[in-house]
Structure 1
Amino acid sequence: MANVFEVAQTLIQHIQTRFKGDIALVAYYGSYAQGTATSRSDLDFFFIPSTPQGFRAALSFLCGGISFDFWPIRWERAERMAAFEEPNTSIIADCKLLYVRSDADLARFEQLRKRISETGKPSLALIEKAENHLRDAYVHMYQMSLLHNDSTGNLTLFRTEAHGVLTHALYALALLNGTYFTKGWGKNTEQINQFHLKPARLDEHMHTFMQTSETKEIQTASEQLVQDMLELLNAQKAHYAAGPDYKGRMKGFYEEIRGQFDKLLTACEANDYTTAFFWSIGAQDEIARFLYYSRNGYWPSAVLATADYMHEYIAVGLPDLPKLLASDRLSELRDMILLLDERLRSLLQSHTVHIAEFETPQQLELYLDQRG
């Protein structure tokens, strides 16, 4: 069996000879960095190229029966990891450096680690990143819905999609707890158990995924887990919300949406149903989302049912445009757009939202002079 660090040193010597100006640093992570390596453990290590030539150092190989994968990470990707935008933040946060080209490279890398330590606490920003994982979990649930539920016939396919649901849900859970997984799957159970925030049925769902051979049970557990995670996520969003602020959050909104109203009016008058279809639905959805954001302090979730945020629109008495969509009702739709314009302006003014509107260029010039 090869000594993994002797192998690593061989690569470092090769870099110093052939790629001295092309690689910023080399580091290792995983079991050897954490002190949990076994006789079968490989050495997980990576390098950051500083030039296109540096990528040529990448190599996957076996030595002494041990697997090695010397793989490149661009600085841009390392920055995404440090920003919790990829689920492998631990690679940057917990690695051990083997080689650094310069003090400037070291300072840049340490700045990434500092960013992780400063970001790593519960926040609305991490909640939004968790939301992205839940959205990806929905893709696996959709794929599962296409499978034929025939007890064990499609068990492999159901388990594969459930694996996607579970891993995305757990990545989201780590972010809701303001952290990242420091160990790989199967070794992070203790960390999951110590999370302050987690669904009450998490252990039950994980047991179902791992133990049952009934496809219907796997699908049901997936749906319940995602729903539990969504409720937990929304509760955390509400916890970090700053409360209603129509005046601040809707500043400039009317001026933008008015352009969509004009497109809609033109489409109705030209009997252009296709354009009216797209812009009427898009405009109403955008207004509903802004109203939701203005009241709650955060945007509606990508996995939130449309009805949950569209309620904001209907509740304030704005006309429902998509209901009127029909090629022979464009004159009626035009009237409703004018009504929507009137009611939206009135609503914003009731919340003291300033609308920047000028009758003449001279009025605009005077405003700009006064604003400075």
Structure 2
Amino acid sequence: MKYISKELNDWAVNKIKTEYLEDVSLLIGHKHWKIKPDGDEVAFNFFIPETDHGYNLSQTFIINEIGYDLFPMSWERVEGLANINETLTTCLADGVILYARSEEDKQRFINLQKKLAENLTNPEFTYVKGLEKINIAMDLYKNMLFDSSLSKVRKASGYLAGYLAQAIATFNGTYFRRGPEDQLTILNNLQHTPKDFTSLYQRIVSAVTLEETKNLCYQMIKVTRDFFSQRSPKKEKQTVEYNFEDLADWYEEGTYTFRRIYYYCDQKDVFNSFAWAYNFQQEFDYLEEEFGMKKMDLIGTFDISDLSALRKRAKEIEHYIVSIIKEHGVVIQEFDNIEEFLMNN
């Protein structure tokens, strides 16, 4: 067949020069994801509009049974590609400048390509971006659990597997140049891939029931999360100065929740003991991060048949928090009675 990429590129450039000279910054070409019969020539892919009028250049059409899409991407969106915010990384990484309104526009695009390349070689950056894609897959899984349509679950499983595959590729400092095509082959050739991931991916393709598909998706998420948790980039420890007066403020307010827990445990009130314990656990998790404190697991000791362990653990945690405050020379505003409070305020 006759390849017409050059003719179409010339047409697009001419159209910009004659109708959108001040409205389009760049025209970017790409080899696309064509099948073999349609060749691999660079053809126009997207353009970056400079004005609102520039968006009117957008067109879709069919020539000789091949569909073409000349679509716009704002500078902001292309900057997002440099930060690996989308799945279209290849549009920037492998983009070819077919037309530039100015040298400044051309250099801006080239700088974004360099920024993308730098990001892909930054282990901390690719790790975080990988986690973002895992989180998207987890959201898909949560919704999938409540769906009874095999069609919808299959679609969701494909996207879920795709996002996890992108997370792994990103971790390896690369991306899928042909989108969803041949991902198994590419994954098998990466330096770091979760054990059994590609076999699970293959099994998702051949799954025939809802439960099988959902179970395989769970397993894919688990092996990917385990893979990432074992490879968290090591950061140099930095000296952090904590404001323990803020911790004292927290305790002065939070002490009443301790009182509630002691009371409901003594009353053998299971529900209210549980309710305040899980709420307080969120606070303890916050304190661990905010003040560099040790793990304070309260809710893990909850036992419906015996609340004494929960009460005991709450008391241990309270003593620990008070000791940290006092160790750092902070005074807890505590009074025995109203008269003492009024005397000092």
- Counterpart of 1:61 in 2: which secondary structure? strand
Match of 2:211 in 1: 216
Counterpart amino acid of residue 342 in structure 1: V
Match of 1:248 in 2: 239
- Counterpart of 1:69 in 2: which secondary structure? strand
Match of 1:95 in 2: 95
User: 1:159-217: CA deviations, max 9, x gaps?
Assistant: 11211220111011011112222222123443222111112212221221111213222
Correspondence 1:1-372 to 2 at 5 A: 3-31=4-32, 38-39=37-38, 43=43, 45-121=45-121, 123-148=123-148, 154-237=149-232, 240-242=233-235, 245=237, 248-249=239-240, 251-252=241-242, 254=244, 260-261=250-251, 264=254, 280=280, 282-290=282-290, 312-314=294-296, 341-345=321-325
Could you tell me the percent identity over the aligned residues? 18
Contact 2:90–2:175 (Cα < 8 Å) also in 1:
yes
- Counterpart of 1:132 in 2: which secondary structure? helix
Contact 1:122–1:175 (Cα < 8 Å) also in 2:
no
Structure 2 residue runs without a partner (length 5+): 260-271, 303-313, 332-345
The 2-side partners of 1:50 and 1:263 are apart by 54
Distance 1:313 1:59, change over 3 A: same
Contact 1:263–1:279 (Cα < 8 Å) also in 2:
no
Contact 1:23–1:47 (Cα < 8 Å) also in 2:
yes
The 1-side partners of 2:329 and 2:83 are apart by 37
Counterpart amino acid of residue 76 in structure 2: E
Contact 1:81–1:92 (Cα < 8 Å) also in 2:
yes
User: 1:220-254: CA deviations, max 9, x gaps?
Assistant: 211111100011001110xx2236x4x724x2454
Contact 1:31–1:37 (Cα < 8 Å) also in 2:
no
Counterpart amino acid of residue 102 in structure 1: S
The 1-side partners of 2:212 and 2:77 are apart by 38
- Counterpart of 2:192 in 1: which secondary structure? coil
Rg larger in structure:
2
Q: TM-score w.r.t. structure 2 length?
A: 0.75
Counterpart amino acid of residue 133 in structure 2: H
* RMSD of aligned alpha carbons: 3.9
- Counterpart of 2:78 in 1: which secondary structure? helix
The 1-side partners of 2:321 and 2:81 are apart by 44
The 1-side partners of 2:329 and 2:16 are apart by 60
Contact 1:257–1:283 (Cα < 8 Å) also in 2:
no
More relative contact order, 1 or 2 (CA 8 Å, 6+ apart): 1
Alpha-carbon distance, 1:336 to partner: 9.4
Distance 1:191 1:105, change over 3 A: same
Alpha-carbon distance, 1:87 to partner: 2.5
- Counterpart of 2:208 in 1: which secondary structure? coil
Alpha-carbon distance, 1:52 to partner: 2.3
- Counterpart of 2:21 in 1: which secondary structure? coil
The 2-side partners of 1:175 and 1:356 are apart by 47
Match of 1:366 in 2: none
Counterpart amino acid of residue 73 in structure 2: I
Aligned length: 308
- Counterpart of 1:84 in 2: which secondary structure? coil
Match of 1:309 in 2: none
The 1-side partners of 2:16 and 2:254 are apart by 62
Misfit runs of 4+, over 6 Å: 265-269, 276-279, 334-338, 355-358
Contact 1:252–1:356 (Cα < 8 Å) also in 2:
no
Structure 1 residue runs without a partner (length 5+): 149-153, 296-311, 324-333, 350-354, 359-372
Distance 1:63 1:343, change over 3 A: farther
The 1-side partners of 2:37 and 2:246 are apart by 61
Counterpart amino acid of residue 4 in structure 2: N
Q: TM-score w.r.t. structure 1 length?
A: 0.70
The 2-side partners of 1:156 and 1:83 are apart by 33
Contact 1:24–1:101 (Cα < 8 Å) also in 2:
yes
